[in-house]
Structure 1
Amino acid sequence: MEEILLRAIIEYCTHNTAHGTEEIMDKLRQLPDCEVYEYGCLTSCGLCYLSPYALVNGESVEGETAEALYNQIMIKIQEIRLIED
């Protein structure tokens, strides 16, 4: 049986980088089971304006700070890893 590697697809908006999201996305790019995509817009302007946020496998994840967002994304990644095991 072929092993299927589940990957975390992380999407973020370039307009949200004012909250410091670019630095955490650079950290996430280093993880072998993550794919990080940058878009000009994710059509969630309300979220983008208010706080750091990203989509993880299509699900919105937010944090009060960029570091809090990173922690929330890591929780989602751990959930994906658990599904894989």
Structure 2
Amino acid sequence: MDGVDLMRPIIEFCVNNLTPDVEKIKEELEKDPELDVVEYGCLGHCMTCAEGPYALVNGDVVTGETAEELLENIRKAIEEMEEFGF
């Protein structure tokens, strides 16, 4: 078994982007034992942060117009990464 099978997706949130709706999304993702969910003081994507909800999925920026769309896009990003073995 190679190490790729053991890696879980890492979802990173910026504390400055945690509106109540995004906080709910983060909490929902934290319930999934197949994900590592981390909150940082700043992720260094200030322009993206100012524009709306976002997170990093394995280091890639994922955005949404709403928290719900962000969650959908995070799940899509994870599915795509799993398809391609990332």
Whether TM-score is above 0.5 comes out as yes
Q: Which moved more, 1:42-51 or 1:63-72?
A: 42-51
* Aligned mates of 1:37, 1:8 — CA distance in 2: 11
Q: What residue number does 2:23 align with? A: 22
Q: What residue number does 1:54 align with? A: 55
Contact map agreement 1:19 1:66 (CA 8 A) in 2: no
- Cα root mean square deviation, aligned: 1.7
Matches within 5 A, 1:46-85: 46-84=47-85
Aligned residues: 84
Report how far residue 16 of structure 1 moved.
0.3
Alpha-carbon distance change, 17 to 81 in structure 1, aligned in 2, over 3 angstroms: same
Q: What residue number does 2:45 align with? A: 44
Report how far residue 48 of structure 1 moved.
0.8
TM-score, structure 1 as length reference: 0.87
Q: Provide the identity percentage.
A: 44
